Structure 1
Amino acid sequence: MDNYIDHIESLLEECKQKKDFRGDKFKRALAKVNDVFDRRHDESCKRACDVILRCELLSPIAALWKESDSGAGDHDTITLIKTLIWNCSDRHAEFCKRCVLNTSLLNLLINGMKKYALDLHMLDDGDKRNAIRADFGILHNFLRHEPSTVDALKSLRAILTIACFRNSTFHMIQILSAVVLAFCGESITMDEIDCQYVINMIYDARGEADHIHKGQGLALEEILQFITQLVTENDKNKCAMVKANLLKSLDGIITESDHGEIMMCLELLWQLVTTESTKQSVIREQRIVKSIKDYYADASIPNEAKKKCASLLHTLKKSKNHVMLSYQWDSQNTILKLQKYLAAAGYTVWVDVNEMKGSLNNCMADAVENASIVLMGITQKYAESKNTKKEAEYAEHLGIPLLPLMLEKGYNPTGWLGILINGKIYVDLTDGSQNNFTEVTKQIQLIANS
């Protein structure tokens, strides 16, 4: 392969010396460079990129691209050039930096995309759709490797152009637009169909020997990075992705993938555990939690991976994992029976007869804040109690699930309590027996899995 790349370099140097970039020799050299990337040997690909930079071909390439846009250039040559840029930008950070600094190249790329953005029906043509897919692939690579790309795109007012493709009728194009926008720091809201499409991309990429999604041209690591961008500081996207079974698609990545994929998977999980509801979902995926622990225990893993695993495990350990029983004192007999039942079923239970120490308000706040669910013992006196009102309303404010337990026959809550529990599923415990305790655990599980 070294001799092959040496031959390519001599061809390109000859074209450069003669300033002959329109002949068959230059086209053959470009085709040979792309052939190197088709073989997917990392060191050879890097050498090929180095050759392109040493031969200072970016300016001649930009000139040929400009000619093509004006109708004077050769279509085959431009196809080779775009493929080369897509290939080199995927593997070589310095190549991306030089391309972004060469503003004419970026300008040509965006201007070409504008034609399609103004008339999305043009993408009904398969060749044009493949062309825009290549453009998005190049932009995505620039954004991954060169931080100044975001400012360069904004200076070209390209964000609006890129956003137009979210309206395409082709989901592949919509998602590629979302990928680039997310890397530009734009807020993207994913609907159920978007989430499922992206998660299927994970499965498809994992099913390929090289872990590259064939339809999008994105590696598994890049797909995980994209999802990480989507969920960072965006709780709606976190919940939507988890609801669409994102976590199932991640199962096995930490134990079966390469270092880059593992690190990106760990970073994605880290973003998910910074929000309580999605953290609970991660905790319930015991295979993923075990894979983190097993990977952390491997003495050979890099320090950066060890630190990320340690942070994840520490955060998961601090999880809200108790069931809080909120009740008025007259209901204590039934509540303590329920506490005993839940404890026997494996739940950690917080109940004030055992837990209240120090400042009452501080204890109540701590109990609520660290609850995964609050069970409310509903009676007339519960509605009249200032303390139970504080607990219930604070839990509602924090978004912690509430499960009403009806403890008083004939009582129909009104006022603040009626508003709070209106429409919520409840469990009837008014007969004073333990017959419906199994229904309590059933509802706790249903709420936890919702």
Structure 2
Amino acid sequence: MDENESRDDDSVDSDLVTRFMFHISRQPSETIIDDDARSVFGELRNRSNVMVRKSAHYPWLIDAVDNDHFVRFYHTYIQLLCNVSETDYLTKPINQCVSNFIKLQMLVWNVTDKVYTLCFKLTLKEIPYYLFELLKLPSLHPCVCLTETNARLLAHSSIGVLHNMINHVPNIRSVYRRSGGVRALLPFVTASLDGSPDVDPQCAVHYLSLRTAALLLLSFLVDEDENATLHTNDSYIVYLLTALSDALVPVNNYSTKYGYQAEELLVGLQNLAGPDKNKKALIKNDAMKHIQTALVVAYEMKFPYKPQDSTVKPAPFQSDPDALAEKALNFLWTLLFVPESHASLTPGSDFRRLVDKFGSDSTWSPSCRRVAQGIQWHLRTSMKVASGPSDMSDPIAGLMSRERRQRHRHGHLMISYQHSNKNVMIKVRDQLTELGYRIWMDVDYIRGSFIDAMAQGIQEASGLILGLSQAFKNSPHCRQEVKYAYHLGIPFFPLQLEPNFTADGWLGLLLAAIIYISVPDESAVPGAVLQLKEQLGDIGHISRAASEEAVEYSRLLSGGSLTHSFPGFPVRSDSSVTNPKRFSLSNLSAEKANRSPPPSEQNSNAVNLTPTDTNPLSLDARLGWVESSTKSSYAQLWTWKPEDVSRWLRQEGLSAYEQALATVNGPMLAELARLRLAAPESVSVSLFRDLGMSLVDQLRLYSALAKLTVHCSSTSQAIP
């Protein structure tokens, strides 16, 4: 029986498609009075409504719309409505031409929600321009939309299509702005419903959904100056938060009053939170509580309560808990860049524990976990990493940045981008690789811990290539990367992926004096990469890395390698030691260490720790461990035992790490001193990750190693 029903449905679908293809092969004016065209357009609209409501995917329906034939028909139909100088169909919108187009517009609205390829086709046909022209017509003024249902439906569906298009193709923001999108949308937001006694209360409720749509689309478009004009008070912020609260209901997470799902509202609120002024206003109006509620709802959807003896199946949810949680977490991460947000996420609080669950529980989607882990990374580093240029006045941060720039100019180049621009940035990566540059991109390197991989990618970079767009600026992930790289003193090389994009706000502050390279589309990548090569020079190039690493490796592993890292380390100067390929700490045995080399083999760089006229105390006496003795076993670091290292840790105020370093002996300590010079970033990451060593304790450890080096360097006689 089910098979027969399915076969009948397939037959109906095929018949619908055949009739639909016939009608879109005609001129729109020929379909206006055609009853069959009206019926077909209406049936396809209804099927698309079911597809969206069920979160389904109807290939036959999508194929019927996602093609050049339909796009041409749709393009011609919009022009027919916009060209009011010939026939003004919109003067009285209750007519068959407008009614048929509304059915088509609803169909396009539903399909563009699912299919990004249709959004690209519509963009290439300049549909955004014509839709904004439609919205500017007096016949669709907000006052008309309040009373005329067809006018409201036409305006709302047009804004819905535009919203879906920019969701899938964020870089068309510049097209929207050039088309006068901000000017077209503002009246729908600012129009007041007060003082209109003739307005049907039901129409006023429906108009709220139209206002919400306009406000959400504006959140993609406005710059910082326009935002200040739009948000002179918190009324729109309160309005959207109220809509979100209304949408956070069981089963479908949909607000019937405002006409939007919770996920859509969270994305709009995240866009609205771009300017830091808006972040503070959102937090002041309890955005953090709304986010916590959204996460609780997602958690309860994922793990619904059911008594053990219950035989009742929970009602199926019509929305995805992983998607809801991910969008709520992204909104939260965006708000964390202002300090007012941190009070809600103190360690041990219910909210903080809830966020931690999403980061550690493998039942949540990988993308959801990555956002939660990004929040954890932000909270861990918020007290250590500068939030802006003014914080770089801190002397320690400044010294670390200068050291970072000096030591790692030969590191790789890291690509930082927003995921919607992945394809073009992959092309940039490939062409830079062909030119001999070492490139780090997350798609190639993230296999284990997302946060560890990103942190290491930034720490070992010699430059950060930025894929600039409004979506990049609004992305908390991208802002976190840029913020951390700025703190480490890593230079930026921005590529302007969105035409006419100008960075403002926090991003504009960091890039104020840097020249952008324009990459409006993928065809511009080759020329942009050549310009980028001119800017980069040999930064991040394999030839530079190879030569500098060869020099560094040779210097560190030559006859004076250990005397450079730790000058008190006695080393022979014959070729068997100075050859870096043959040198190894494991080759140093106690027998060789106790044998005094003949004068011809003594290394003038090797020093002892015995008292001299200028250095009356040995190292042991300086540290107060033993009395000065020219034969002291402690005078040779490479004979230190673990208990000697423990004693040294206590002396230097590092006793908290005695247990963790209980097996470390003298040679291992010398190796740590060498690695501190050879790979300081990796050592720092390992100390933090494996030992939980704070920045202050790391500085204390490095200072202690440096003191040992100074003590050893102050003597000048060979060890007897």
How far 1:82 moved relative to its partner?
A: 1.8
| 1:216-275, Cα deviation, whole Å (9 max, x unpaired) | 43322111111111112x222112111111122222433235222221111111111121
Instruction: Give the partner amino acid of 1:38.
Output: N
Contact 2:280 2:338 in 1 (8 A): no
Does the alignment pair 1:149 with 2:172?
yes
Q: 1:193 to 1:151 in 2, by over 3 A?
A: closer
Match runs of 1:411-422 below 5 Å: none
In the alignment, structure 1 residue 235 sits paired with structure 2 residue 295: no
Kindly tell me: are residues 5 and 320 of structure 1, through their superposed partners in 2, closer, same or farther at Cα, counting changes over 3 Å? same
Paired residue for 2:357, among 294, 299, 324? 294
Specify whether residues 106 and 297 from structure 1 end up closer, same or farther in structure 2 by C-alpha distance, changes over 3 A only: closer
Q: Kindly name which structure, 1 or 2, has the bigger radius of gyration based on alpha carbons.
A: 2
Rounded to whole Å, the distance in 1 between the matches of 2:152 and 2:140 is: 14
Distance 2:130 2:211 in 1: 22
TM-score, with length taken from structure 2: 0.41
CA, structure 1 residues 284+4, in 2 after alignment: closer, same or farther (shift >3 Å)? farther
> Any gaps of 5 or more consecutive residues in structure 1?
322-360, 364-450
Identity of aligned residues (%): 14
Cα deviations by residue, 1:72-105 (Å, 9 ceiling, x for unpaired): 56232122122112222222211122122212x3
Aligned to 2:18: 10
Q: Greater helix percent: which structure?
A: 1
- The letter of the residue matching 1:306 is R
Tell me by how many angstroms 1:71 deviates. Answer: 3.0
Amino acid at match of 1:237: N
More deviation in 170-179 or 248-257? Answer: 170-179
Structure-to-structure mapping, 1:112-131, within 5 angstroms: 112-116=134-138, 120-127=142-149, 128-131=151-154
Q: Which moved more, 1:244-253 or 1:171-180?
A: 171-180
In structure 2, how many angstroms separate the alpha carbons of the residues matched to 1:193 and 1:111? 28
Which residue number in structure 1 is paired with residue 113 of structure 2?
90
**Cα-to-partner distance string for 1:288-314 (whole Å, 9 max, x where unaligned):** 322221222212333333222222123
TM-superposed deviation, 1:282? 3.7
Question: In 1, distance between residues paired with 2:277 and 2:348?
Answer: 20
Corresponding position of 1:67: 80
User: Where does residue 217 of structure 2 map in the other structure?
Assistant: 180
Change (3 A) 1:28 1:287: farther
The 1-side partners of 2:347 and 2:377 are apart by 16
Question: Which residue type is aligned with residue 343 of structure 2?
Answer: Q
Mapping of residues 321-400 of structure 1, within 5 Å: none
Distance verdict in 2 for CA 1:47–1:261, change over 3 Å? farther
Number of residues paired by the alignment?
A: 323
Q: How much does 1:17 deviate?
A: 5.7
Structure 1 residues 125 and 282, CA gap change in structure 2 (3 angstroms) = farther
Q: Secondary structure at the match of 1:251?
A: helix
Q: Residues 283, 126 of structure 1: CA spacing in aligned structure 2 closer, same or farther, 3 A cutoff?
A: farther
Q: 1:288 to 1:2 in 2, by over 3 A?
A: farther
Which letter maps to 1:60?
A: F
Instruction: Tell me the equivalent position of 1:371.
Output: none
Q: 2:133 aligns with which of 111, 128, 132?
A: 111
State the distance in 2 between where 1:149 and 1:98 align.
Answer: 12
**Does the C-alpha gap of structure 1 residues 78 and 278 become closer, same or farther in structure 2, counting only changes over 3 Å?**
same
The residue type equivalent to 1:71 in the other structure is: D
Cα distance, 1:57–1:208 mapped onto 2, change above 3 Å: farther
* Alignment correspondent of 1:316: 379
* Residues 1:132 and 1:14: Cα distance change in structure 2 (over 3 Å): closer
Change (3 A) 1:2 1:241: farther
Do structure 1's residue 258 and structure 2's residue 291 form an aligned pair? no
Question: Which string of whole-angstrom CA distances, capped at 9 and with x for unpartnered residues, describes residues 105-150 of structure 1?
Answer: 3333112211249954334324233432222222211111123431
1:304 equivalent to 2:315? Answer: no
Q: What is the match of residue 214 of structure 1?
A: 256
Q: Determine the C-alpha separation between the residues in 2 that align with 1:186 and 1:179.
A: 14
Q: Partners of 2:223 and 2:11 in 1: how far apart? A: 45
1:30 aligns with: 41
Change over 3 Å in CA distance of 1:109–1:215 after alignment to 2: farther
2-side partners of 1:167 and 1:295: how far apart?
38
CA contact (8 A) 1:242 1:281 kept: no
1:363-414, Cα deviation, whole Å (9 max, x unpaired): 9xxxxxxxxxxxxxxxxxxxxxxxxxxxxxxxxxxxxxxxxxxxxxxxxxxx
Most deviating of 267-276 and 146-155? 146-155
Cα contact 1:266–1:309 (8 A) shared by 2: yes
1:247 aligned residue:
288
Q: Which runs of 5+ in 2 are unaligned?
A: 1-8, 90-95, 194-207, 302-319, 385-393, 397-720
Question: C-alpha deviations, 1:332-381, integer Å up to 9, x for none?
Answer: xxxxxxxxxxxxxxxxxxxxxxxxxxxxx979xxxxxxxxxxxxxxxxxx
Judged with a 3 Å threshold, the aligned counterparts in structure 2 of structure 1 residues 202 and 119 are, in CA distance, closer, same or farther, namely closer
Aligned partners of 1:143 and 1:149 also within 8 Å: yes
The corresponding residue for 1:433 is none
Q: Secondary structure at the match of 2:346?
A: helix
